[in-house]
Amino acid sequence: MKPYIQIHAALLLIVLLILTACERKSSQTSTATQINTIHSLYTAQYDGIITSAELSSYGNFGLGSFTGLDGELIMLDGILYKADENGKPTIASPSITIPFATVTFFASETDIPINQSQQLVDVNDMLVLDRHMCENKPYAIKIKGRFNYIHYRSWPKQNPPYIGLNSLANIEKRYLAKDIDATLIGFYFPQWFGHVNTISFHYHFISDDHTIAGHVLDTNIHNAIVQVDPIDKLDIIFTQSKTSPSQPTNEYPSAAPNTIVTPRPRDVREGNNNPNHNKPNPQIPNNPSNPNR
């Protein structure tokens, strides 16, 4: 066989392996519906464009925020919760409005048990490296189990004139919950989604007893089941507002501010020349707000 034919055959085999790994295991397709874009939050467009009752018609699983960033949105098993600035969840009013959210009707295609303590960043890496997910496709992710800790945050309600999302880092409220049974509600979007959604992994959570909830910064999983649902189609509902953003920006949004659960570079994920690979994440603060929660 000629060298160039061998090269072409090898490339074809690689492509086929990648496509096979990315294929759905079932014939069903999954649609996610998104309210506005993540870039709208970075440009301080915090006014809601859809009610929670309307949002519920598009899915039973998801995350987002509310008008004025007044709480973190968690949708689990068809129930929509609002976690306030203190991390206390309540069932959201049907009339409350939402400026940004991503929801889907969750149907797990892959169930992966976690039977030993792991940082969330390592679980994210495993999902990609073990080909449970493909880096160029969106996914909905549910992680239910026991957590050694969950480091999370929320923001106080914002009032007009709004400031951009990146300017809120100094006023966010952080919490640390220990030894907790909970469910993480997450999505993964590849790099090329850019200003459309939060690229990489993004998680919210709610405890099983519904006493605490919020946006996940980091967590250590004791044991859990990770469920993955590939997203085949994304519908976006855009704002009809004719008002210009109050905080125009050219910033390229990656993970939400101060989120530390994004995947590491490939060479780090694979442990190449990295003496700290698989060591506990050192970025948990020494004095988070309300550490006994």
Q: How confident is the model at residue 12 (pLDDT cuts 50, 70, 90)?
A: very low
pLDDT of residue 167: 84
11 has pLDDT over 70: no
Name the pTM for this structure: 0.79
Q: What distance lies between CA 142 and its chain's CA centroid?
A: 10
pLDDT of residue 130: 86
Look over the chain and give the mean of its residue pLDDT values, rounded to a whole number.
Answer: 81
pLDDT digits (tens, 9 = 90+) for 123-163: 999 998 888 898 889 999 999 999 999 999 999 999 999 98
Architecture of the domain spanning 31-237? 2-Layer Sandwich (3.30)
pLDDT of residue 204: 99
pLDDT of residue 8: 40
Q: Are 65 and 41 in contact (CB under 8 A)?
A: yes
19 has pLDDT over 80: no
Three-state DSSP class for residue 38: helix
Q: Which has more confidence, 184 or 287?
A: 184
Which amino acid makes up residue 190? P
For the chain, give the percent of residues with pLDDT over 70.
72
pLDDT of residue 287: 36
Give the DSSP letter of residue 157: P
With a CB cutoff of 8 Å and minimum separation 6, the contacts of 244 are: none
Q: Cα separation of 17 and 40, whole Å? A: 37
**Average pLDDT estimate for 197-226:** 97
Q: Cα separation of 133 and 138, whole Å? A: 9
Q: Which of 104-108, 163-167, 276-280 has the highest mean pLDDT?
A: 104-108
pLDDT of residue 243: 55
